[in-house]
Amino acid sequence: MSQPLRLGIAGLGTVGIGVVKIIQRQADLLAKRAGREIEIVAVSARTRDKDRGVRLNAYDWEDDPVTLAQRADIDVFVELMGGADGPAKAATEAAISSGKDVVTANKAMLALHGQQLATAAEAKDRVIRFEAAVAGGIPVIKALGEGLAGNEIERVVGVMNGTCNFILTQMESTGSSYQEIFDQAAALGYLEADPTLDVGGIDAAHKLALLASVAFGTKVAFDDVQIEGIERISIEDITLAADMGFRIKLLGVAQMSGRGLEQRMSPCLVPANSPLGQLENAMNMVVLEGNSVGQIVLRGAGAGEGPTASAVMGDVMDIARGMRLATFGQPAKTLADARPATTSIPAPYYLRMKLLDKPGALAKIATALGAAGISIDRMRQYGHTDPSAPVLIVTHKTSPSAISDAIEGMKEIDVMVDEPVAIRIETV
Amino acid sequence: MSQPLRLGIAGLGTVGIGVVKIIQRQADLLAKRAGREIEIVAVSARTRDKDRGVRLNAYDWEDDPVTLAQRADIDVFVELMGGADGPAKAATEAAISSGKDVVTANKAMLALHGQQLATAAEAKDRVIRFEAAVAGGIPVIKALGEGLAGNEIERVVGVMNGTCNFILTQMESTGSSYQEIFDQAAALGYLEADPTLDVGGIDAAHKLALLASVAFGTKVAFDDVQIEGIERISIEDITLAADMGFRIKLLGVAQMSGRGLEQRMSPCLVPANSPLGQLENAMNMVVLEGNSVGQIVLRGAGAGEGPTASAVMGDVMDIARGMRLATFGQPAKTLADARPATTSIPAPYYLRMKLLDKPGALAKIATALGAAGISIDRMRQYGHTDPSAPVLIVTHKTSPSAISDAIEGMKEIDVMVDEPVAIRIETV
């Protein structure tokens, strides 16, 4: 058996403790699989005196994660502190410059500084692995970057924020408002300290930008992700979408075409009977589409101690086994600049509006859509007790700009109550 | 850039040609990702003069795959001939003994000779990779053996034969008999030359035995797989199971417990609203359960040119990138002998019977079940025009032997028409 692989773990929150537990609980199993022992040498966290439910006294303690990262007696720096900058980035840079491999769950840091960190690591012949940063326990970075390495990747679609999916599916199953379920999620501890990271789509957009880099061989381009959160999704839209055979998901889509690279994280309708449509509660799902493999669907827990620690350990085991791969699948210096698509690929849209119940009202809407070049696939007007009638339209494929034009045109229509709601329908 | 990785491909059927096409179509993409070119040096197949729709004249031709496997100018022998023994095995052995790595899609060969071949490869410091042998394009061997390497695997469940899933879902959607759909599948070319490999469950059992080895660190134990095909599944069972909220799947289950290793490939009921229950047509799905990650579900095409070639290329790319792993995830000599479970883990069962419509008939059945220690979860008697009534029972968890006892006991019952049908319900 080879020398043990020696870890320094910075960050002893849920995931860090999960990693410690795995290594303590099944050291023999890991050693048998890796051909060497996996050994924790030292740990670091903000507070030392805190009962974390595991024995840590066999490990050296470092107050400063940078000092931990530089220790000569570790091989791999396991960064589980989080935060795009600050101590996480400083310690990761220190680890790289002192010749360590890095395993991290830090999607924000890599979404913002991935290119710089990967370049630095490769200059030192070191790797950064980040399976735990995307979709929790689902080995999607591995599936995409290794398993499907023979494919030209066409599209990556996914639900990558369990909290948002929890909120949306709970709204549907209970009929409660967004705010009611948001408050419940907050009480359950499901939300980040800054909840806009979750419900604003930013956390999921970080993940999407990392997936896009691996999928398309482009530099991480988080700033190019079009981000829209779920805050505007009403229970009415969820109910009416269901009536049309759809469910609303916070959907990430990364797609390469002649238009360039499109990266969107936004609420979309998906067919209720599709794998994505059937995804309940806090689960994650990523759909990978390649020119040879067709469509691969991966589903699992997107967060939590066990699943995320499992992903960290997958990366640690790869390094222990000598399986080394450039951070984004190919050397950072060979990654292309992402040319952002200026407009989205056409798609059908869901349009909800309220019309005064007057003769010719529907005709005026249909005319406005026609004027914008949008044709109607399905239309439903619902019964109502107040003077305005809810009307739902599913369009044929059209461009986002045509939808904007149509909505602009509808503002002139005297029968329109409130502004129409438009949500893209993603075909998956 | 490093030296090209030089391939010799034996077998130019659907999958072999798919591999050639990928390498011809996107050589630059592969080279960029691997950091070196992927080059086909020589090919071999039974017939040379045959239009296969791709240009092969840039490659050397070998009539004998063994000669191909031994060529000094190849690094990797890609075995896509199939067959557990004969030329495939001879050529694989020749490749190993002349120091080549091997990539194969040959489930039968590895299910029967995997231990011997892996041992031989490791003695030469070579690898055998077989992602394409299990579940087509789904990178399940990689997910299980690498991505989840930090987990103690608890159970692997899957639908791994697309033809059987096609037959079962077509029976349900059309209401046709097994024989009718079997004949259609044959006409569509979906069946192996020997169809019992598909419908008899043997092909899927080969795959299950390979997954079990990777999951549990045990020697491949194909002979221990309990195999039952789908031939006895009637349209009546499919319809009645659906009425109870289930669908029938040819389900592979590998599970390690105190009883030992259980490997079953047999028709089972699964909840209709579960991911497995929703799997349509020729798709494959594998569910992986680990003690940290929880449940991961992988879905994709289980066969066909593109998906299977994608899996082959994933393995080739790993080798090109220097990512080398022992065949079954750890050295073959460290794999444990699988201790087969002598009895299955208890499960609920579906029981269908026909009873003469006489007073006390149901009571007699209930009594027979009670005598075998089986308690009833749900029971339905259906309307009928002939003198016998269809009766469905879903039991609480019980052992297979109790079910056998109960069926034996029911034979004595005078109101019973035909023998009851019993199918296990797998909770996934």
What is the tens place of the pLDDT at every residue in A60-92?
999 999 999 999 999 999 999 999 999 999 999
- With b for 16 or more beta-carbon neighbours within 10 A and e for fewer, the A401-412 pattern comes to ebbebbbebbee
Q: Which of A48-52, A325-329, B357-361 has the lowest mean pLDDT?
A: B357-361
Whether pLDDT at B12 is above 90: yes
- Provide the pLDDT for residue B188: 87
CB contact under 8 A, B142 and A137: no
Q: Quick one: what percent of chain B has pLDDT higher than 70?
A: 100
- Helix/strand/coil (H, E, C) string of chain B? CCCCEEEEEECCCHHHHHHHHHHHHCHHHHHHHHCCCEEEEEEECCCCCCCCCCCCCCCEEECCHHHHHHCCCCCEEEECCCCCCHHHHHHHHHHHHCCCEEEECCHHHHHHHHHHHHHHHHHCCCCEECHHHCCCCCCHHHHHHHHCCCCCEEEEEEECCHHHHHHHHHHHHHCCCHHHHHHHHHHCCCCCCCCHHHHCCHHHHHHHHHHHHHHHCECCCHHHCEECCCCCCCHHHHHHHHHCCEEEEEEEEEEEECCEEEEEEEEEEEECCCCCCCCCCCEEEEEEEECCCEEEEEEEECCCHHHHHHHHHHHHHHHHCCCCCCCCCCCHHHCECCCECCCCCCECEEEEEEEECCCCHHHHHHHHHHHCCCCEEEEEECCCCCCEEEEEEEECCECHHHHHHHHHHHCCCCCEEEEEEEEEECCC
Which residues in chain A are closer than 8 Å to B293, comparing Cβ atoms?
137, 300-301, 306-307, 310-311
Distance from the A313 Cα atom to the nearest Cα atom in chain B, whole angstroms = 5
CB contact under 8 A, B334 and A296: no
Mutation target to probe the B interface, by most B beta carbons within 10 A, among A1, A24, A142, A146 is A146
Which residues in chain B are closer than 8 Å to A148, comparing Cβ atoms?
139, 310, 314
* Residue of B147, B291, B322 lying closest to A314 (CB–CB): B147
Distance from the B215 Cα atom to the nearest Cα atom in chain A, whole angstroms = 11
Question: Chain B residue closest to A132 (CA)?
Answer: B147
* Residue of B150, B273, B306 lying closest to A314 (CB–CB): B150
3-state secondary structure of A353: strand
Q: Which of A381-390, B72-81, B174-183 has the lowest mean pLDDT?
A: A381-390
Which residues in chain A are closer than 8 Å to B291, comparing Cβ atoms?
306
Query: Measuring CA to CA, which residue among B251, B284, B241 is closest to residue B133?
Result: B284
**CATH 3.30.360.10 intervals, chain A:** 140-301
- Provide the pLDDT for residue B190: 83
Q: Which of A141-145, A417-421, B72-76, B149-153 has the lowest mean pLDDT?
A: A417-421
* Residue of B217, B295, B310 lying closest to A293 (CB–CB): B310
- Provide the pLDDT for residue B143: 98
Instruction: Look up the CATH number of domain A349-424.
Output: 3.30.70.260
CB contact under 8 A, B298 and A301: no
- Provide the pLDDT for residue B387: 83
Q: Which CATH class is domain A140-301?
A: alpha beta
Alpha-carbon distance of A175 to A197, in angstroms, equals: 24
Dump pLDDT digits (tens) for B181-219: 999 999 988 888 889 999 999 999 999 999 999 999 999
Dump pLDDT digits (tens) for B116-142: 999 999 999 999 999 999 999 999 999
CB contact under 8 A, B149 and A299: no
Which residues in chain A are closer than 8 Å to B275, comparing Cβ atoms?
275, 278, 299
Tokens of B254: 């590998």
- Provide the pLDDT for residue B359: 86
Across the range A364-380, mean pLDDT stands at 93
Q: At what angle do helices B178-187 and B162-174 cross, to 10 degrees?
A: 130
Per DSSP, helices labelled H in A195-234 are 196-199, 202-216
The residues of A annotated as belonging to the active site are 207
Distance from the B353 Cα atom to the nearest Cα atom in chain A, whole angstroms = 33
- The Cβ of residue B261 has, within 10 Å, a number of other Cβ atoms equal to 21
Q: Confirm if A117 and A109 have CB atoms less than 8 A apart.
A: yes
Whether pLDDT at A129 is above 70: yes
* Residue of A296, A301, A334 lying closest to B294 (CB–CB): A301
Question: Chain A residue closest to B130 (CA)?
Answer: A147
Which residues in chain B are closer than 8 Å to A27, comparing Cβ atoms?
none
CB contact under 8 A, A152 and B314: no
Q: Which CATH superfamily is domain B140-302 in?
A: Dihydrodipicolinate Reductase; domain 2 (3.30.360.10)
At residue B233, what is the residue type? I
Q: How many CB pairs under 8 A join A and B?
A: 189
- Provide the pLDDT for residue A412: 84
**CATH 3.40.50.720 intervals, chain A:** 5-133
- Provide the pLDDT for residue B192: 80
- Provide the pLDDT for residue B343: 84
More confident position, A192 or B212: B212
Across the range B8-33, mean pLDDT stands at 98
Whether pLDDT at A414 is above 90: no
Question: Chain B residue closest to A308 (CA)?
Answer: B293
Q: Confirm if A227 and A317 have CB atoms less than 8 A apart.
A: no
- Provide the pLDDT for residue A206: 98
Query: Measuring CA to CA, which residue among A295, A211, A218, A155 is closest to residue B32?
Result: A218
pLDDT band for A225, please (50, 70, 90 cuts).
very high
Distance from the B355 Cα atom to the nearest Cα atom in chain A, whole angstroms = 37
Q: First and final CA of chain B: distance in angstroms?
A: 47
Q: Quick one: what percent of chain A has pLDDT higher than 70?
A: 100
The residues of B annotated as belonging to the active site are 207
Alpha-carbon distance of B372 to B366, in angstroms, equals: 10
Which residues in chain A are closer than 8 Å to B139, comparing Cβ atoms?
142-143, 146-148, 296
CB contact under 8 A, A317 and B150: yes
pLDDT band for A1, please (50, 70, 90 cuts).
low
Question: Chain A residue closest to B285 (CA)?
Answer: A297
pLDDT band for B249, please (50, 70, 90 cuts).
very high
Which residues in chain B are closer than 8 Å to A330, comparing Cβ atoms?
32-33, 35
Question: Chain B residue closest to A336 (CA)?
Answer: B32
Instruction: Look up the CATH number of domain A5-133.
Output: 3.40.50.720
Q: Of A385-394, B1-10, B313-322, where does the model show the most confidence?
A: B313-322
CB contact under 8 A, A217 and B294: no
- With b for 16 or more beta-carbon neighbours within 10 A and e for fewer, the B79-113 pattern comes to bbbbebeebbbebbbbbbebebbbbbbbbbbbbbb
Across the range A331-336, mean pLDDT stands at 96
Whether pLDDT at A386 is above 90: no
- Provide the pLDDT for residue A94: 98
Across the range B50-70, mean pLDDT stands at 97
**Mean pLDDT score of chain A:** 95
Across the range A3-18, mean pLDDT stands at 97
Which residues in chain B are closer than 8 Å to A138, comparing Cβ atoms?
296
Which residues in chain A are closer than 8 Å to B142, comparing Cβ atoms?
139, 142-143, 146-147
CB contact under 8 A, B325 and A325: no
**Mean pLDDT score of chain B:** 95
pLDDT band for A29, please (50, 70, 90 cuts).
very high
Dump pLDDT digits (tens) for B350-372: 999 999 888 888 888 999 999 99
**CATH 3.30.70.260 intervals, chain A:** 349-424
Distance from the B208 Cα atom to the nearest Cα atom in chain A, whole angstroms = 19
Tokens of B413: 């019952």
Question: Chain A residue closest to B317 (CA)?
Answer: A149
pLDDT band for B1, please (50, 70, 90 cuts).
low
